[in-house]
Amino acid sequence: MSTARENQKFKELNISKETLKAVKNMGFRQMTDIQNEVIPKALDGSDIVATAKTGSGKTLSFLIPAIEMVTKFKQKQATFCIIVSPTRELAIQTHSVLEDILGFHDNLTSALIIGGENRQAQSIQLSKGVHIVIATPGRLFDHMRTKEFEYKNVCCLILDEADKIFQYGFEEDLKQIINRLPKNRQTMLFSATHSETTEALIKSAMKDDFHTINTNED
Ligand code: ADP
Ligand code: MG
What residue's CA is closest to ligand 1, atom 12? 57
For the stretch 32-86, pLDDT in tens is: 999 999 999 999 999 999 999 999 999 999 999 999 999 999 889 999 999 999 9
Which residue type does 64 have?
A: I
**Which ipTM was obtained for this model?**
0.99
Our measurement of the distance from residue 149's CA atom to the centroid of its chain's CA atoms, rounded to an integer in Å, reads 19
What is the sign of the dihedral through the CA atoms of 154, 164, 136 and 72? Answer: negative
pLDDT of residue 148: 98
Superfamily of domain 10-214: P-loop containing nucleotide triphosphate hydrolases (3.40.50.300)
Q: How far apart (Å, rounded) are the C-alpha atoms in residues 67 and 140?
A: 20
Other beta carbons less than 10 A from residue 9's beta carbon: 14
Contacts with 168 (C-beta within 8 Å, 6 or more apart), sequence order: 86, 87
Is 0.95 surpassed by the pTM of this model? yes
For the stretch 158-200, pLDDT in tens is: 999 999 999 999 999 999 999 999 999 999 999 999 888 888 8
Vertex 17 angle, CA 56 and 26, to 5°: 40
- At residue 218 the predicted structure's pLDDT band, cuts being 50, 70 and 90, is low
Cα of 90 from ligand 2 centre, angstroms: 8
CA nearest neighbour of 134 among 121, 122, 147 = 122
Cα of 125 from ligand 1 centre, angstroms: 29
Q: How far apart (Å, rounded) are the C-alpha atoms in residues 47 and 211?
A: 6
Q: Is the CB of 59 under 6 A from ligand 1?
A: yes
Judge whether residue 153 has pLDDT over 80.
yes
pLDDT of residue 2: 43
Our measurement of the distance from residue 187's CA atom to the centroid of its chain's CA atoms, rounded to an integer in Å, reads 9
Cα of 60 from ligand 1 centre, angstroms: 7
DSSP per residue over 70-103, as a string? Answer: HHHHTTS-S--EEEE-SSHHHHHHHHHHHHHHHT
